[in-house]
Amino acid sequence: MTAETATAEQVQLEPAPPSLRSRVVTWARRLLLLAVVAGAGYYLVTRWDEVWATLRTVPWPSAVLSLTAVIAGILFGTLSWQTIVDDLGPPIGRTRGAQIFLVSQLGKYVPGAVWAYVLQMELGKKAGVGRARMFVGSLVQLGVSIVASLALGVLALPVLLDEVQGAVWLYLVLPFGLATLHPRVMTWGVNLVLRVLRKAPLDHPLHWSTIIRTLIFSMLSYTLFGTHLWLLATADGSPQVNVLLLCVGAIAMGLTAGLFFFILPSGAGVRDLLVALALAPAVGPAAGAAFAVASRAMFTVADVTTAGAAAVVAKVHERRK
């Protein structure tokens, strides 16, 4: 081997410097992540006095159990999303999937819920998962979760209709949503989105087992969120099953209603209003509003905690490889 040949091989082995586009995308991803963390932190700081005034009336065991229920609900939501994403291609792994989903969820604290999906696609791309697959997976999971939340929202609808008669419009989409859960309909919808994105269609139809597991995980997630609210609202009295059903239905409906006001950070105000109205007959208007605000703050703490834990676990997992 001549010196010229060795030098040529060495040049070929050296990695090419990142392009300008690659550097811009990397820095944009970092700035977006910083913005969403700042948005979550801003919410906690500006509402802390109000939240603390409510939480200090709740016994600490109930507060801890309530926060634990939120975290468990978020983790079941992660499983719901990953079930769909893994059916769209090679499994991405629980560790990597949790990092992508949980960190991207912080994007909802920036006005315009689109940032959560943008961050999700960028994190997925960094992990070697195509943006189209990330987008389609999230779109399907969102549709399934809306159907799950509307189904559970029936539990709170009688109470809410006394206060907000317009809430019934949410159920105009429930029959349509149930129909779209059929694998053939959902596969057709996914392929339509892929065609618009100029991507290849699915190489296999979505399976009943995938859709059913996604739906079950979503319903478990909302049920745990409702349990979190119930633990707060009944901390100073005897727990009642009817209040639990009301809390599950109220928070499920509130989360769905917040999706339609995507300009607001995490549907701020919309979910709180519905939760407060649903709780008012059980705990009074003032306490219902206070628990709604405290609930949102606990969700923020849980979102930041789970996102941070997932990011740390993913980093440790990478270093061990």
Q: What is the pLDDT of residue 48?
A: 57
Q: How far is CA 319 from CA 101, 314, 315, in A?
A: 21, 9, 6
DSSP assignment of 155-185 equals TTHHHHHHH-GGGGGGGGSHHHHHHHTSHHH
Confidence at residue 59, expressed as pLDDT on a 0 to 100 scale: 82
Query: What is the chain's Cα-based Rg?
Result: 22
Three-class SS state of 265? helix
More confident residue, 214 or 122: 214
pLDDT band at 40 (very low <50, low <70, confident <90, very high): very low
Residues 6+ apart with CB under 8 A from 23: none
The residues, ordered by sequence, that sit 6+ positions from 53 with a Cβ below 8 Å of its Cβ are: 290
DSSP state of 149: H
- 178-185: Cβ within 8 A, 24+ apart: 178/147, 180/143, 180/147, 181/144, 181/147, 181/211, 181/215, 183/207, 183/208, 183/211
Residues constituting the chain: 321
Q: What is the pLDDT of residue 226?
A: 92
Q: Is the pLDDT of residue 154 over 80?
A: no
Q: What are phi and psi of 196, to 5 degrees?
A: -65, -35
Name which residue leads in pLDDT, 260 or 128.
128
Residue 5 confidence (pLDDT) above 60: no
Instruction: Check if the beta carbon of residue 307 is closer than 8 Å to that of residue 105.
Output: yes
Question: In the structure, what pLDDT confidence band is assigned to residue 10 with cuts at 50, 70 and 90?
Answer: very low
User: What's the whole-number average pLDDT of the chain?
Assistant: 77
* Token pair recorded at residue 133: 């697959």
Domain boundaries, the chain: 27-307
| Cβ proximity of 124 and 130 under 8 Å | yes
| 254, 225 contact by CB (below 8 A) | no
Specify whether the CB–CB gap between 194 and 137 falls below 8 A.
Answer: no
Higher pLDDT, 38 or 59: 59
pLDDT of residue 278 exceeding 80, the answer is no
pLDDT tens-place string over residues 221-257: 999 999 999 998 887 666 677 788 888 888 888 787 7
Q: Name the pLDDT band for 218 (thresholds 50, 70, 90).
A: very high
Residue among 262, 255, 299 at smallest CA distance from 113:
262
Q: What is the pLDDT of residue 213?
A: 95
pTM score, whole prediction: 0.78
pLDDT at 262: 53
pLDDT at residue 269, rounded to an integer: 61
Would you say residue 309 has pLDDT above 70? yes
- DSSP-derived secondary structure letter, 238: -
Give the mean pLDDT of 109-123: 74
Distance, in Å, from the CA atom of 292 to the CA atom of 190, rounded to the nearest integer, reads: 36
Asked whether residue 131 carries a pLDDT value surpassing 50, the answer given is yes
Tokens at residue 225, please?
């969120």
